[in-house]
Amino acid sequence: MAKPKVLVTWPYTFPEADKLLQTETEAFYHSEERPMTRQELMEAVTDKEGLLCMLFDRIDGEVLEAGPHLKVVSNLGVGLDNIDIEAATQRGVVITHTPGTLTEATADLAWALLMATARLIPQAHQFTREGRFIGLRYHIFLGKDLAGKTLGIYGMGRIGTAVARRALGFNMKIIYHNRRTNPEGERETGARYVSFQELLKESDFLVIVAPLTPETQGRFGMEEFRRMKKDAILINIGRGPIVKEKELVEALKEGLIWGAGLDVYEREPQVEKGLLELDRVVLTPHIGSATVETRSTMALVAAENLVRVLIGEKPHHSPNWDKVRG
Ligand code: GLV
């Protein structure tokens, strides 16, 4: 029997995932290290039953329409804001993703960014590299203490809870705001649920871990920064458009908050120019899940999700399996 044709939108180099795809499917890999253009994507899906896509591929009704044989779209990542799930459900296409695989790595990155921002690590590193370290000085690179401070988490799901768990080791108070309370997360970390306004007012470090939804989009702007502590540090590892970047630049310039560490951006891969020029800002290029172990597990789970749907089995994680196949 002919194997199902699938499209992988990036030239993969994850051996276990590759092996599975090559054994179970006829896999076509996009050959260049750049996102496929919309035209390329629409042409390439015409005869495919499966699509393994990246977070930067926008999969909407038009793309699904261009692939009438598609049975499954497997997203390499946890966030699903790049996919129109309703349009897929209407067309009987199963969507899958990889929650659970990247929880710890992403929580680690939140802390790496938080500490790098609080202690001005990249700036100090650059200074040292430039040969400017001519002896201990008591007044340079003065950062912020963590102990005894309040960590606020916006979005207390799997990753938010893992971020909170790490705060216990730093002797911090933990508060969070979420669509609904997370009793399990509270039990595990001692975090306390607060209103959004309290979160802004009380947090010394405010970490955004939420997904992008109509409700979270643009949630942090000038009005919110005004309500935060002047000493506060904002960290965003969720999705860029949750923060109005231009307003964040203004807030930092006006001293409404102390600093910011960002891994995601409003218009990726563009970064708001003002952010590049500020002293107390640390920027990373969407590397939340970027560890050798986590990325290969994600790739394998994404490949397994794809293959499972193609052979009629339930995938590991899907927001619409029950609706499509139920
Ligand atoms: C990363 O941003 C993901 O959603 O997996």
- Residue 136 sits at φ, ψ, to 5 deg, of -55, 135
Which pLDDT score is estimated for 168? 95
Residue closest by Cα to atom 4 of ligand 1: 79
**Are residue 88 and residue 184 in the same domain, yes or no?**
no
pLDDT digits (tens, 9 = 90+) for 278-323: 999 999 999 999 999 999 999 999 999 999 999 999 999 999 999 9
Provide mean pLDDT across the span 109-116. Answer: 98
For the chain, what percent of residues have pLDDT higher than 90?
Answer: 98
- Smallest CA-to-CA distance from 50 within 302, 319, 287, 316 is with 302
- For the cut 80, the answer to whether the pLDDT of residue 326 exceeds it is no
Say yes or no: CB of residue 79 within 6 Å of ligand 1.
yes
pLDDT digits (tens, 9 = 90+) for 53-65: 999 999 999 999 9
Q: How many CA atoms lie within 13 A of 315 on its CB side?
A: 30
**Are residue 14 and residue 50 in the same domain, yes or no?**
yes
Which pLDDT score is estimated for 123? 97
CATH of the domain at 175: 3.40.50.720
pLDDT range class, residue 110, cuts 50, 70, 90? very high
**Are residue 95 and residue 12 in the same domain, yes or no?**
yes
**Ligand 1 closest atom vs CA 77:** 5
- For the cut 90, the answer to whether the pLDDT of residue 12 exceeds it is no
Task: Tally Cβ neighbours within 10 Å of residue 195.
Answer: 10
**Are residue 112 and residue 52 in the same domain, yes or no?**
no
**Are residue 111 and residue 84 in the same domain, yes or no?**
no
Which pLDDT score is estimated for 1? 80
Q: How far apart are CA 127 and CA 131, in angstroms?
A: 7
**Ligand 1 closest atom vs CA 97:** 5
Say yes or no: CB of residue 78 within 6 Å of ligand 1.
yes
- For the cut 90, the answer to whether the pLDDT of residue 72 exceeds it is yes
Scored b (16 or more CB within 10 A) or e, 215-241 reads ebeebbbeebbeebbeebbbbbbbbbb
Per-residue CA distances from 308 to 53, 151, 180, 271 (Å): 16, 40, 32, 38
**Are residue 144 and residue 241 in the same domain, yes or no?**
yes
pTM for the structure as a whole: 0.96
Report the separation in Å between the CA atom of 239 and the middle of ligand 1, taken as the mean of its atom positions: 8
Report the separation in Å between the CA atom of 128 and the middle of ligand 1, taken as the mean of its atom positions: 33
**Average pLDDT for the chain:** 97
Domain tally, the chain: 2
Domain that holds residue 132: 103-283
Contacts of 200 (CB under 8 A, 6+ apart): 152, 206, 224, 227, 228
Report the separation in Å between the CA atom of 36 and the middle of ligand 1, taken as the mean of its atom positions: 19
Mutate to test the pocket of ligand 1, among 104, 106, 212 (most ligand atoms within 8 A of CB): 106
**Ligand 1 closest atom vs CA 211:** 4
**Are residue 237 and residue 305 in the same domain, yes or no?**
no
Provide mean pLDDT across the span 158-177. Answer: 98
**Are residue 109 and residue 97 in the same domain, yes or no?**
no
**Are residue 90 and residue 122 in the same domain, yes or no?**
no
pLDDT digits (tens, 9 = 90+) for 188-218: 999 999 999 999 999 999 999 999 999 999 9
Which pLDDT score is estimated for 58? 98
The residue type found at 178 is N
User: Active-site residues: which are they?
Assistant: 239, 268, 286
pLDDT digits (tens, 9 = 90+) for 28-55: 999 999 999 999 999 999 999 999 999 9
Which pLDDT score is estimated for 283? 98
pLDDT digits (tens, 9 = 90+) for 232-278: 999 999 999 999 999 999 999 999 999 999 999 999 999 999 999 99
Provide mean pLDDT across the span 5-26. Answer: 96
**Are residue 207 and residue 269 in the same domain, yes or no?**
yes
**Are residue 35 and residue 166 in the same domain, yes or no?**
no
Residue closest by Cα to atom 5 of ligand 1: 77
Say yes or no: CB of residue 102 within 6 Å of ligand 1.
yes
Q: How far apart are CA 45 and CA 65, in angstroms?
A: 9
Instruction: Output the CA angle 67-71-77, nearest 5 degrees.
Output: 95
**Are residue 230 and residue 304 in the same domain, yes or no?**
no
